[in-house]
Amino acid sequence: MNCKEAIRLMSEEMDRDLDGGNRFALRLHKLICVGCRNYQKQLSFIRQACQQQVAVDDAPPTTPDLNPPQRL
Ligand SMILES: [Zn+2]
């Protein structure tokens, strides 16, 4: 497995479980390849950040203050 293949599998793994052979090959590649280990760290960090952003977007918007102080 080369890095290109490993990267493809890593992003695939984010969306669905890999089959046994691919999962094993990917794990093996990450053992020997620092670059891909770092890439995976970044990938999961970015994904986590995206999920947090989605959670924020799902939260109800804060209601604006409808009672402004009256200044006549
Ligand atoms: Zn690699």
* 35 Cα: distance to centroid of ligand 1 (angstroms): 6
d(CA 55, CA 70): 36
The tens place of each residue's pLDDT in the chain, 72 residues long, gives 999 999 999 989 988 999 999 999 999 999 999 999 999 999 888 888 888 877 777 777 676 677 777 777
* 48 Cα: distance to centroid of ligand 1 (angstroms): 22
d(CA 21, CA 67): 63
Q: Please tell me the predicted confidence (pLDDT) of residue 69.
A: 73
Residues 40 and 8 sit within 8 Å (Cβ to Cβ) = no
* 2 Cα: distance to centroid of ligand 1 (angstroms): 6
